[in-house]
Amino acid sequence: MASAVTPPAGGPRGTDGAPVRSDRSPWNWLLLVPIVVPLLVPLFNRVEPTLFGWPFFYWVQLLFVALGVLTTVVVYRATRRSPAEQAAARAAVARDTTPRDTAARDTTARGTTPRDTDRDGGR
């Protein structure tokens, strides 16, 4: 990849570029499971065994939803960054949002979205 362009230099916060990271991880291979399994139609294209009157075809595919959730949660947890880096990320969001919010705080509009407290990435 011939790139004649250097990464953009940082502004007021120094001239160092972005840290080089990798999003590769052996855990990522786990994501293949919920991609491949729901596409193997011959394995589940049948009526028996039924569950609560549901043919196998239907309830097992709803179960695949859980499979997808499970694997993405596992991969997310396993490839999470260190607590220090996460704290830095939260601080970055807070830094970016605070000035604007205080400048134009609107209690009415904010009151309609009480659930939005974790937008800074906090859990």
Among positions 26, 52, 82, 102, the unique one binding other proteins when judged by CB under 8 A = 52
Closest distance between other proteins and the C-beta of residue 60, in Å? 10
Residue 25 Rama label (left phi>0; alpha psi -120 to 50; beta): beta
> What whole-number distance in Å separates Cα of residue 100 and Cα of residue 98?
5
- Tally helices (H) and strands (E) across the chain: 5, 0
Torsion from C-alpha of 50, 56, 57, 60, nearest 10 degrees: 130
Residues 89-108 within binding reach of other proteins (CB under 8 A): 89, 91-93, 96-97, 100-101, 103-104, 106, 108
Residues 6-45 within binding reach of other proteins (CB under 8 A): 6-14, 16-23, 28, 31-35, 38-42, 45
* Residue 116 lies near other proteins (rule: CB under 8 A): yes
Number of residues that bind other proteins (CB under 8 A): 80
